Amino acid sequence: MLVNRKRSTRSIARRLGTATAAASLLAVAGLVGDLGGTLPASAAPPEAGMDRFLKQQVKWGACDDYPGGSELPGKGLQCARVTVPIDYKKPDGKTAEIAISRLAASGRKIGSLLTNPGGPGGPGLAEPVLLSKTKLAERFDIIGVDVRGLGASTPSVQCQSSAESQFDWKGSSHDRSDAGIAQTEKDEQTYVASCRARTDKDLLEYAGTVDVARDFDLIRTVLGDEKLNYLGYSYGTRLGSTIAELFPTKVRAMVLDGGVDPAQGLFSSQSAAFQRAFEDYATSCAKSADCPLGTDPKLATQKFRELALPLLDHPVPTSKSRTLGYSAAIDAVETTLYSQNAWPTLTKGLTELTRGNGDTLLALHEIDSGSDSNVFNAVRCLEEKRVTDRTEAATRDRENRSAAPFRDDGRGTGKAPLDVCAFWPIKPTAQPHTPKVSGLPKIVVVATTDDPATPYKSGVALAKAFDAGLITYEAEQHTVFGDGVACVDDPVVKYLTELTVPADGLRCAAPA
> For residue 236, which of 257, 264, 217 has the smallest C-alpha distance?
257
Question: Count of alpha carbons within 13 Å of 229, Cβ hemisphere only?
Answer: 22
* Catalytic-labelled residue, pool 168, 419, 478, 489: 478
Using the CB atoms, write b or e for 298-323: b if 16+ within 10 Å.
Answer: eebbebbbeebbebbeebbebeeebb
Write out 224-292 in H/E/C secondary structure: CCCCEEEEEECHHHHHHHHHHHHCHHHEEEEEEECCCCCCCCCCCCHHHHHHHHHHHHHHHHCCCCCCC
> For residue 292, which of 275, 281, 302, 304 has the smallest C-alpha distance?
304
Q: Which residues pair with 406 in a beta bridge?
A: none
> For residue 448, which of 485, 481, 477, 486 has the smallest C-alpha distance?
477
Query: For the residues of 158-209, what is the DSSP string, one character each?
Result: -SS-HHHHS----SGGG--SHHHHHHHHHHHHHHHHHHHHHS-HHHHHT-SH
DSSP 3-state assignment of 441?
A: coil
Please give the span between the terminal C-alpha atoms of the chain, in angstroms, as a whole number.
Answer: 44
Does the annotation count 389 as an active-site position? no
Does the annotation count 132 as an active-site position? no
* Catalytic-labelled residue, pool 146, 175, 261, 451: 451
Are 358 and 333 in contact by the 8 Å Cβ rule? The answer is no
Query: Cα 300 from chain centroid?
Result: 28
Question: Count of alpha carbons within 13 Å of 156, Cβ hemisphere only?
Answer: 17
* Catalytic-labelled residue, pool 8, 153, 165, 234: 234
Name the phi and psi angles at 14, rounded to 5.
-95, -25
Does the annotation count 92 as an active-site position? no
Task: Tell which phi-psi region holds residue 222, choosing left (phi > 0), alpha (psi between -120 and 50) or beta.
Answer: alpha
Q: Enumerate the active-site residues.
A: 234, 451, 478
